Chains A and B, each alone.
Chain A
Amino acid sequence: MTAAANLPGAVTPRGTKPKTVFAPRNIMLYGTLLIFSMYYLLPLYVMIVTSLKDMAEIRMGNVFSPPVEITFAPWVKAWAEACTGINCDGLSRGFWNSVRILIPSLIISVSIAALTGYVLACWRFKGSEIFFGILLLGAFIPYQVLLYPLVIILRELGLFGSLWGLVLVHTIFAMPINVLLFRNYFVALPEELFKAARVDGAGFWGIFFRIVIPMSLPIFVVSGIIQVTGIWNDFLFGVVYTRPENYPMTVQLNNIVNSVQGVQEYNVNMAATLLTGLVPLVVYFFSGRLFVRGIAAGAVKG
């Protein structure tokens, strides 16, 4: 033993040892996360629980207690029996309408946004940035401002009330944010690839289809998710620009919830609400990872 060994800090290491999993800091960290998780999960839990109770139980108990007797009747009713006016076929009609609206709207709006983003990123021409600026400003215009002019535009095009009119409206309002996403993503692709492709004789469309699209799966997924959720969740356009037989599911949901006949059937309402949210939720759960990745690629660049 030398003299130095007697000094504090020579034998025992200085500083504190790394903490274990149960260190106060970790408890704080996970505790905070869990509390926030409660806030985010509570509504989903209550929705599910409520939709599985019958009305008597709802009136008795509290919203958080699990169902004593699980019943799927509210789900059946919401899907197939709930009434709006004299139509009592539940949400099912709205569901298929939404599918019929969603698919063409999704394809067309994403295609046009991708193509426009491609032009803005790789084939700028004089004034293209100005148009892009105008387009971006469009994201800030409240829908209400354009609701009426669009009625006129659709009327002049003879599309009012048709499915294609709604597709057009979705495409128009999807443009600003989706074009921004695509443009930012494409700008970040290596410029030399485009040069190489041009030297290789690929033109505007060749580069787009053969080079850019195959490289851009993540951003297509992001745009796709935004569009699926946006179109599926749309209420305003669906209600203004279609006829009742084409009403999307959200409108149907609102109709069912608001067509109170007698008492509010909260369990049916919650089942209907869940059913309506199911499609975007499923889409999100299956592709959420890609979505997060794509957001990282598209949004961070600003």
Chain B
Amino acid sequence: MTHSIEIKELKLAFGAVTVLEDLNLQVGQGEFLVLLGSSGCGKSTLLNCIAGLLDITDGEIHIQGHNVTWEEPSKRGIGMVFQSYALYPQMTVEGNLAFGLKNARMPRPEIAKRIKRASEILQIEPLLKRKPAALSGGQRQRVAIGRALVRDVDVFLFDEPLSNLDAKLRADLRVEIKRLHQTLQNTMIYVTHDQVEAMTLADRIAIMKGGQIMQLAPPAEIYNRPVNKYVAGFIGSPAMNVMEGQLDAGNSEFASARGLSFTVKGYEFDGAPTSGPVWLGLRPEHVQSGKWAAGQPIQREALVDMVEPMGSDTQVWARVDGQEIRFRMDGQEKVDIGDRVPIGFDPARLSLFDKSTEIRL
């Protein structure tokens, strides 16, 4: 058994509208894959196709080596957790957990055993006799996860499971899902629009846009080497500074349209660099300031336009040689509008994209 999930040439169209096209994806055994993208990118649609909740137009879906393209959702060997929890309101927690197993005509003792195990793992034993309406959001989502858990399947599908929770609970449950993955070691596909969830949970992230996967890679690679301008802008908070400018391939000289220019020394080009209009990306957190600016290959002076103190750090909007740049400073440093602050950064950590194709150079 090579891949846990394999998707070949998947196409999904509603009438004349094509939602997913020529989509290929392989997910390894026990891998935690996050489908990340903004709303409408097709990530949930793809998940629904994998689950069998949407009939695809063309292509094949294999789960655990079986072609399940036209199989019923319940027979694909998947468990699924939904954003709105989707608990059956008229059943108790126990009833919710047992519903799928009863449908599969599983013997009662086995059902009881599985519910016991799942509720132990998720610590929901005291809730078993309650109805969903009597549970808090976090408890509900635990039950929803439990419902996937009792199915004892190889593949878990999560459809934005934490989006309806408040920030604190979200963080807690995120950790719990990660722990669950480590315990169970099964394949998980997790759909989210939250990059923090994606970065923290994923073995690999698939960034989607317009029904296509832009980049499929481990979080670090996505962060460090985004394949295109979209991915670069999507990942990272605050967002990457993207500057319009010219690249002179001969001496690796970048000149911003606004006036800032420097040599991109140490940057690893994907191919041979060519001269022409480019986008240049610089992550705010890669810009050093104040006394830390000193050691950086490129140093400039920034004129502060606006300050956003966050406590642990401070976000600064500033102009460097006429080019607007955002960066972060230590929260302890005092900075005010109109101040001049020395900054520095390392060109090796930049991202360069072709102006027209927006693909990484």
Contacts and interface: CB of A to CB of B under 8 A. Distances in A.
A and B touch in the complex (CB under 8 A): yes
Interface of A: 190, 192-193, 195-203, 206, 210-211, 214-215
A201 B74 contact: yes
Contacts of B72: 198, 201, 203
A195 B89 contact: no
Contacts of A192: 82-86, 159
Nearest to B78: A199
B53 interface: yes
Nearest to A214: B90
B79 interface: yes
B190 to A, nearest CB: 16
A37 B293 CA distance: 80
Contacts of A199: 51, 53, 73-74, 78-80, 100
Contact of A193 (B48, B51, B88, B159): B88
A206 B86 CA distance: 16
A198 B73 contact: yes
Contacts of B88: 193, 196-197, 210-211, 214
Interface in B31-54: 48, 51-53
Main secondary structure of the interface of A (DSSP, over half): helix
30 contacts: A190-B86, A192-B82, A192-B83, A192-B85, A192-B86, A193-B86, A195-B86, A196-B82, A196-B87, A196-B88, A196-B144, A196-B147, A197-B99, A198-B52, A199-B53, A199-B73, A199-B74, A199-B79, A199-B100, A200-B147, A201-B72, A201-B103, A202-B74, A202-B99, A202-B103, A206-B103, A210-B99, A214-B88, A214-B90, A215-B89
A40 B87 CA distance: 44
Given A198-B52, A199-B78, 16 more contacts: A193-B86, A195-B48, A195-B51, A195-B82, A196-B147, A198-B72, A199-B53, A199-B79, A200-B99, A200-B100, A200-B103, A201-B72, A202-B100, A202-B103, A206-B103, A214-B90
A190 B147 CA distance: 17
Contacts, number: 64
Interface size class, chain B: 20 to 34
Interface of B: 48, 51-53, 72-75, 78-80, 82-90, 99-100, 103-104, 144, 147, 159
B74 A198 contact: yes
Nearest to B80: A199
B86 A196 contact: yes
B82 A201 contact: no
Contacts of A215: 89-90
B154 to A, nearest CB: 14
Contacts of B51: 195, 199
B49 to A, nearest CB: 12
B80 A195 contact: yes
A201 B102 CA distance: 9
A247 B104 CA distance: 50
A200 B74 contact: yes
B86 A201 contact: no
Contacts of B100: 199-202
Contacts of A198: 52-53, 72-74
Return the 5 tightest CB-CB contacts between A and B, nearest first: A200-B100, A201-B74, A201-B103, A192-B86, A196-B86
A193 B78 CA distance: 16
B111 to A, nearest CB: 13
- Pick from B72, B85, B86 the residue with the most CB of A within 10 Å: B86
Contacts of A200: 74, 99-100, 103, 147
Nearest to A202: B103
Contacts of A206: 103
Contacts of B147: 196, 200
A203 B72 CA distance: 9
